[in-house]
Structure 1
Amino acid sequence: MTNFQQYSKYYDLLYKDKNYREESHYVIEKIKSFAPNATQILELGSGSGSHANYFCEAGFEVTGIERSQEMTAIAKAKKIIGFNPVVGDISSYEVSSQFDAAISLFHVISYLTENEALINCFKTTNKQLNIGGIFIFDIWYSPAVYHLKPETRIKRLEDDEIEVVRLTESEMESDKNVVAVNFEVIIKDKITQVAETIKEEHLMRHFSIPEIKMLAVLTGFEVLQAEEFLTRNSPSQDTWGVCFVLKKNKL
């Protein structure tokens, strides 16, 4: 199924405990460090606009590319000043503007499980960046995936109208560097007591640092930095998410 297609309207509730503010400020620090004059940001996989909200508050103008029409509609409804979310595939999008920085957060790049889509995404992003522009993204890190292994998890949340229970079970596809993440989401209406169940499979690719360095060279970038997301520690077998900063070298 299309990722988030069915439960997009419950997405913000499912991730209401995610610290978008801390994550956004961490990336803003990277932008100010590596591209201090940046004003225009391209966000790949902009979702419901939760990260973009903080970037716009910091004075940036953000164009978001999001393949889910439902998620894009939610983002537009928030009326975030300085944010323009559009529907598009991050491996084949095209916009008329040029940007100082591109970002892709919450492991969006790990959704590109095929080499062709991954290379196309990086080449397209390179074209959309000004010379010297930077590309910041986070991915699942292979050493940690093999060491820690995905766990079965249950998450329960509610608001005034609904109760949500999400079961997450994962299967390793080691020959493809992919984890199949299977979601079963049960949504219960508190008033009618009617419940519906949604099932989706998300394929997530994990990467090593040499893979990203090779991908960067192939698509006109160089790797400036690789570190554990948020903590700034050196990546290790206990580091599930690694943040990369790339710089555009050529068209």
Structure 2
Amino acid sequence: MTVFDTSYANQYDAMYGDKDYVAECDLVAAAARNNGVAMGRVLDIGCGTGGHSLEWARRGISCVGVDMSPSMIALAEEKARTLPEKAQLDFLVGDARNFQAEGPFDVATMMFAVLGYMNSNEAVLAALRNVRCHLRTGGLFAFDCWYGPAVLGVRPEDRVRVVEGAKGQTIRSASTAIDSFRHLAHVTFKLWTVDGDRYLGHAEETHDMRYFFPQELELLLEVAGFGPPVIRSFPAGGEPNDDSWNIFCSAVAV
């Protein structure tokens, strides 16, 4: 099944309208400062509809956003038309494992659990090695992902969310099945769009999300050409615990 096809992509911004892209970019910028990395050029991998990429451009930072979904990139490009002409922002459709962009970059990001879409070790390493190829030595890689101890300890619950939009109401359900042997969470999203008593459409996608543990992240990053990662609870900060569903990681290219 296609992930982030047109139907889902069109509801994406409404579903995640409360996501704080500014604060997340601040977090990446702080990690760069802490490692002495100047943010001249940023590579935003898995950019979706451009939330982080647009924020980097607003800050006067050159950015390239990459996403495997043509529908998401089309929405990002549409939003980018509101930026000043001097903004340095480009988008391209590509797979995290093998896309090619003109580098090198100072900072590369994979925010909103993008790395988790790489389900196998081979896929994770291919993506990490591709990130390393696009970064200058000493550049920073920053990403967030699902934290294994919390996923297995807390366990995801079935959820329903209702969002009011300009074209009616969107109802989204999410149900998750855990594959603890393969470190995967199979998340099935179902979306219904209605306007009063009128049915406008339905979409369904299953996203296979990998969750990670600190020791495996350190090993995978080392094999791909990075130094030891700094791992913090996300977005709260501090050392992760068994309730920290998400973690933020940063590692320097060596």
**Could you say which TM-score interval applies, normalised by the shorter chain?**
over 0.9
Report SS of the residue matched to 2:146: strand
Residue 3 of structure 1: aligned partner:
3
Matched, 1:202 2:200: no
Residue 167 of structure 1: aligned partner:
173
Shift of 1:109: 0.5
What is the CA–CA distance in structure 2 between the aligned matches of 1:87 and 1:120, rounded to whole Å? 17
1:246 to 239, 251, 254: 251
Deviations 1:91-115 (A, max 9, x none): 1111122101101101010111011
Report sequence identity in percent: 28
Matched, 1:225 2:226: no
Matched, 1:108 2:114: yes
Matched, 1:89 2:95: yes
Deviations 1:178-227 (A, max 9, x none): 0000111001245x823322111000000100000100111111124111
Shift of 1:65: 1.0
Q: Is 1:177–1:207's contact at 8 Å kept on the other side of the alignment?
A: yes
What is the CA–CA distance in structure 1 between the aligned matches of 2:225 and 2:139, rounded to whole Å? 11
Amino acid at match of 1:2: T
Residue 158 of structure 1: aligned partner:
164
Residue 132 of structure 1: aligned partner:
138
Stretches of structure 1 lacking an aligned partner (at least 5 in a row): none
Shift of 1:241: 0.7
The TM-score, its normalising length taken from structure 2, stands at 0.94
What is the CA–CA distance in structure 2 between the aligned matches of 1:35 and 1:53, rounded to whole Å? 23
Q: How many residues align?
A: 248
Report SS of the residue matched to 2:198: coil
Q: Is 1:40–1:62's contact at 8 Å kept on the other side of the alignment?
A: yes
Amino acid at match of 2:30: E
Report SS of the residue matched to 1:32: helix
What is the CA–CA distance in structure 1 between the aligned matches of 2:199 and 2:216, rounded to whole Å? 47
Residue 32 of structure 1: aligned partner:
33
What is the CA–CA distance in structure 2 between the aligned matches of 1:128 and 1:7, rounded to whole Å? 30
Q: CA RMSD in A?
A: 1.4
What is the CA–CA distance in structure 1 between the aligned matches of 2:29 and 2:53, rounded to whole Å? 11
Deviations 1:13-33 (A, max 9, x none): 111122222222222221222
The structure 1 segments of at least 4 consecutive aligned residues displaced by more than 4 Å after TM superposition are none
